[in-house]
Amino acid sequence: MRRAEHIKYLPVIILLLPVAVMLMGAGLPEVKAQSDNSGQPQEGQSQEGRGQGIEISPPRLQIDADPGETVTTEIKVRNITDLNMRVESTVNDFVAGNKSGEPRILFGDEESPYPLKKYISDVPSLTLEPKERRAVTIEINVPDDAAPGGHFGLVQFKGVPAGNEDQSSQVNVAASVGTLILLSVSGEIEEQMVVDRLAVSQDGNRGSFFENGPFTLITELDNTGNVHLEPTGSLTITNLFGQEVAGAAFNKNKGNVLPGKIRRFENAFGEKDRWVGRYTATAQLQYGSDNTVLKEQVAFWVIPYKIIGIILLMLAAIIFFGRRALTAYKRNILRQYQQQQQNSDRSANSDTDDDNRRSDQHPPGE
């Protein structure tokens, strides 16, 4: 009876084991590399700029020049409305606004350590007919005493409906669009960059231990030189055995790191491959005219502790109830053996009593 009481738990345990295995499989994600963080206009993006009423191209220009040289370039402006459009322009310097690379425009008397605005000649206004595209000439006069290295400016365009059309038919064109200009002046150019940080994060929290994916690999580069740099390279993640389990190209959007600034690049790794154990993330990068190499590594662990806890609890339950069932089984066997011994003893005693009775009924010598 007691043996059956303990054995009855075994079917429950057997049924729970597949559930634990299924939970284990569901909790281990897949790796899918995604591109660098983007979405905001940043230094280095190559996409056509569009505002309300006008569009421009390209959104970024990189120009090399010598001190004392005058260089010209073009920005194409297109009226995308059905109205005549007057396009006005402004020129400003810009600096890196934050680590994401989004530019911060400098207005008024705010000075830039790497000015370009004062080198650019006045950009004339123009009137565009509906759907018309026209090239605007930008003239840059580099002074003889221009500091070598990077100089950064922004030419912005804003469309205003021309003429005396009915106000109700006019489009809202208050927004402006612009082209970033990154000028490199020859001379004593210092191309220097270091990896300020390589870290793994999840939900915005950096760490070395995670329960599961997905993850974000954060690479922060510090430009300690005097010219803008566009790093390239690759990111890889290897497991404990050195096998590559994920990888991605670095800086697909061709973003620049401005001098004296730190820029953060983020690469996300998706959630479908199986992550368990120790991993190493490696950033293998190059920058500058000589393709100087930067390499940095960071290790992290993935421990699905909730799933492991469930499995350990189930193993503990199996051991506990198994031991109790085995103990009950042993007691039952011992009890059966003892009963057999008692029955055997009773049988032997009964045979002895019968012999004695027969002896009493037939005394010797009769």
Q: What DSSP string describes 9-22?
A: THHHHHHHHHHHHH
Spell out the residues 6+ positions from residue 142 whose beta carbon is closer than 8 angstroms to its own: 65, 66, 67, 68, 69, 70, 71, 119, 183, 185
| Mean of all residue pLDDT scores within the chain | 82
The answer to whether the pTM exceeds 0.75 is no
Residue 46 near residue 252 (C-beta atoms within 8 A): no
Residue 321 near residue 327 (C-beta atoms within 8 A): no
From 69, 150, 143, select the one nearest 113 (Cα to Cα).
Answer: 150
Spell out the residues 6+ positions from residue 278 whose beta carbon is closer than 8 angstroms to its own: 239, 240, 299, 300, 301
User: What pLDDT score was predicted for residue 59?
Assistant: 94
Cα(266)–Cα(216) distance, rounded to whole angstroms?
A: 6
Q: Between β-strands 176-185 and 193-202, what pairing exists: parallel, antiparallel or unpaired? A: unpaired
User: What pLDDT score was predicted for residue 339?
Assistant: 84
Low-confidence residues in the chain, pLDDT < 50: 1-35, 37-48, 164-174
User: What pLDDT score was predicted for residue 312?
Assistant: 78
Spell out the residues 6+ positions from residue 160 whose beta carbon is closer than 8 angstroms to its own: 85, 86, 87, 88, 173
